[in-house]
């Protein structure tokens, strides 16, 4: 099963923070040698990683310094299990921390260095969140222009995740968030605050972005071997990758635009790798004609392989 599967345009989409749950990745590690090797690598650098993924509490996994290395590990394990089964992507993208995993899988850094980098990223983002406490809310049923207009009426509320048609996440001052949610409701939308540990992808993360850039500039990060689409630009990485990988921490994730650009570039099959099915849902909302699959455990890996064969992708 290790042969390259010839097919047009497959993209791997690497899950981000918020998708984590206790038990994630366990069955992949039990059934896939490639996935097990990823968990062994993570434990060699950070001994608690597998335990936190397999049996950590929701509260433990919600702490950013734990979330990011754990989600990274499950993302990479799922991608490696797919690769082991003969599925090789023609391009990739990752949501927030998933972008760093996409770069790692695509050869921009080694798995070990990518893991060290995601640990550093999580530490700096948690420090920034403690210095500048923030809140986030998901807004449904409003256009980007409507959400941006509402944000303009608040001092420190910003649109930060353009997820899919009809869904945008905002980030900012916790003291203003209730009023923002009420204002969104008055315009016909629905806003719900999220259980997160900070005001991510906003100016509150500027210090973390600067500090992480210094870490990246001292790493061996290079351009990936396949196109990896950047959150900030919705275009493949080019030029100096460290700047883009650091900048996205404090800038919006243009996920809908990324998917639309990937579709224009010929991608027709999108496989989410890592915990949950959030990104698969965004694909279905944004590109209803595309084939949208996910791999987070052994069962979903087997199902995805069956679907690829049924669709003549394998």
Nearest CA-CA partner of 253 in 274, 271, 278, 277:
278
- Say how many C-beta atoms besides its own lie within 10 A of residue 217's C-beta: 12
Q: Which of 32, 50, 96, 171 is catalytic?
A: 96
**Is beta strand 157-164 parallel, antiparallel or unpaired with respect to 167-172?**
antiparallel
What is the C-alpha separation between 11 and 228, in angstroms, rounded? 9
Residues in contact with 170: Cβ distance below 8 Å, sequence separation at least 6, in sequence order: 136, 137, 139, 147, 151, 157, 158, 159, 160, 180, 191
Planar angle of CA 23, 24, 29, nearest 5 degrees: 100
3-state class (DSSP) for residue 276: coil
Q: Which of 50, 106, 201, 300 is catalytic?
A: 201
Q: Which residues pair with 157 in a beta bridge?
A: 172
Report DSSP state, residue 95.
Answer: S
How far from chain centre, in Å, is Cα 135?
19
**Is 303 noted as a catalytic residue in this protein?**
no
**Is 225 noted as a catalytic residue in this protein?**
no
What is the C-alpha separation between 80 and 62, in angstroms, rounded? 25
Would you please indicate which residues are annotated as catalytic (active-site) residues?
A: 96, 201
């Amino acid at each position: 099963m290790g042969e390259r599967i010839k097919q047009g345009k497959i993209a791997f989409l690497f899950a981000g923070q918020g998708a984590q749950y206790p038990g994630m990745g366990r069955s992949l590690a039990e059934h896939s040698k490639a996935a097990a090797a990823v968990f062994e690598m993570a434990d060699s650098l950070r001994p608690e990683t597998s335990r936190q993924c397999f049996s950590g509490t929701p509260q433990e996994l919600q702490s950013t310094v734990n979330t990011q290395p754990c989600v990274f590990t499950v993302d990479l394990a799922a991608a490696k299990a797919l690769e082991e089964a003969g599925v090789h992507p023609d391009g990739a993208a990752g949501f927030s921390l998933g972008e760093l995993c996409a770069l790692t899988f695509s050869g921009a850094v080694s798995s070990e260095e990518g893991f060290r980098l995601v640990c550093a990223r999580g530490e700096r983002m948690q420090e920034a969140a403690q210095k500048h406490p923030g809140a986030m809310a998901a807004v449904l049923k409003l256009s980007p222009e409507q959400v941006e207009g509402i944000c303009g009426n608040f001092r420190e509320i910003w649109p930060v995740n353009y997820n899919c048609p009809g869904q945008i996440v905002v980030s900012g001052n916790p003291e203003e968030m209730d009023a923002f949610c009420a204002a969104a409701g008055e315009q016909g939308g629905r806003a719900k605050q999220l259980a997160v540990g900070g005001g991510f992808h906003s100016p509150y993360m500027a210090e973390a972005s600067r500090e992480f850039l210094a870490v990246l500039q001292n790493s061996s990060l290079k351009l990936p071997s396949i196109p990896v689409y950047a959150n900030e630009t919705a275009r493949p990485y080019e030029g100096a990758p460290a700047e883009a990988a650091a900048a996205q921490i404090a800038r919006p994730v243009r996920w809908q635009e990324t998917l639309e650009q990937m579709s224009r570039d010929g991608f027709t099959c999108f496989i989410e790798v890592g915990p949950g099915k959030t990104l698969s849902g965004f694909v279905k909302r944004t590109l209803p004609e595309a084939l949208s699959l996910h791999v987070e455990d052994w069962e979903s890996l087997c199902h995805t392989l069956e679907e690829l064969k049924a669709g003549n992708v394998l």
